[in-house]
A and B are shown apart, each in its own frame.
Chain A
Amino acid sequence: MYKSRRISWRSELRRWLLPLALAILWEAGARLALAEPMLLPPLTQVLARGWHLLLSGRLLGDLAASAWRVLLGFGLALVIALPGGIALGLYPPLERATALLLSALRPLAPPAWIPLAILWFGIGDAPAVFIIFIGTCSSMLVGTLAATKAVDAQLVKTALTLGANRWQAVRHVILPSLVPALLTQVRLGLGLAWMCVIAAEMVAVRRGVGFFMVEARNLFRTGDVLVGMMAIAIVGLGTDRLLLGLERRLCRWRAGLDPARLYAPQEQRP
Chain B
Amino acid sequence: MSFLQLVQISKRYLTNGSSILALQDLGLSVERGEFVVLIGPSGCGKTTLLQIVAGLEPASSGQVLLEGRPIHHWGAERTLIFQQPNLFPWLTAEENVAFGLRLAGLPASERQQAVHQALGRMGLAEVGRLYPHELSGGMQQRVALARALVLDPQVLLMDEPLAAVDALLRSRLQREIRATCAGKTVLFVTHSIREALILADRVVILSPQPGQVRREITLTGAAPRPPTLELARLEEEIEHELIAG
Q: Which of A1, A163, A179, A254 contacts B151 (CB 8 A)?
A: A163
Question: Is B3's CB within 8 Å of the partner chain A?
Answer: no
The answer to whether A158 has its CB under 8 Å from any CB of chain B is: yes
User: Whose C-beta in chain A lies nearest to the C-beta of B134?
Assistant: A1
> How many residues from B make CB contacts under 8 Å with A?
27
Which B120-156 residues have a C-beta within 8 angstroms of A?
131-134, 147-148, 151
C-alpha gap A251/B89 in the complex (Å): 10
Instruction: Give bound CA distance, A172 to B100, whole Å.
Output: 11
Shortest CB–CB separation between residue A162 and chain B, in angstroms?
4
Docked Cα-Cα span, A87 to B100, in Å, equals: 25
Give the CA-CA distance A173 to B102 in the complex, in Å.
Answer: 13
- Residues in chain A near residue B133, CB distance under 8 A: 253-255
What are 16 sample pairs from A and B whose C-beta atoms fall under 8 A apart? A157-B56, A157-B82, A158-B80, A158-B88, A161-B74, A161-B157, A162-B76, A162-B147, A163-B75, A164-B103, A168-B103, A253-B91, A253-B131, A253-B132, A253-B133, A255-B89
- Candidates B80, B90, B100; contact of A176 at CB < 8 Å: B90
Of the candidates A1, A158, A254, the one whose C-beta lies within 8 Å of that of B82 is A158
How many angstroms from the CA of A1 to the CA of B139 in the assembled complex? 15
Q: Tell yes or no: A154 within 8 A of B by CB.
A: yes
Q: Smallest CB–CB gap between B64 and chain A, Å?
A: 14
A17 at the interface (CB under 8 A from B): no
Tally of A interface residues using CB under 8 Å:
23
0 or 1 for each of A132-153: is its CB under 8 Å from B? (1 = yes) = 0000000000000000000010
Which A residues are within 8 Å of any B CB, using their own CB? 1, 152, 154-155, 157-164, 168, 172-173, 176-177, 179, 251-255
Report which residue of A159, A163, A172, A176 has the largest number of chain B beta carbons within 10 angstroms of its beta carbon.
A163
CB <8 Å contact, A179 and B147: no
Contact B76 A161 (CB under 8 A): yes
What residues on B are CB-neighbors of A164 within 8 Å? Answer: 103
Q: Note all chain B residues with C-beta closer than 8 A to A251.
A: 90
Contact partners of A252 in chain B: CB under 8 A: 131
- Which single residue of chain B is at the shortest CB-CB distance from A180? B90
Closest to A164 in B: B103
Interface: B84 (CB within 8 A): yes
Bound-state Cα–Cα, A176 to B99, Å: 13
Query: Given A155-B88, A254-B89: A161 and B131 within 8 A (CB)?
Result: no
Determine if B76 and A172 form an interchain contact, defined as CB atoms under 8 angstroms apart: no
Contacts of A254 in B (CB 8 A): 89, 133
Question: A177 to nearest B CB, angstroms?
Answer: 7
* Interfacial chain B residues near A163, Cβ < 8 Å: 75-76, 100, 103-104, 151
Q: Let me know if A155 and B86 touch, CB within 8 A.
A: yes
What A residues does B147 contact at CB under 8 A?
Answer: 162
- The answer for the CA separation of A33 and B157 in the assembled complex, in Å, is 79
Cβ A159 vs Cβ B90 within 8 A: no
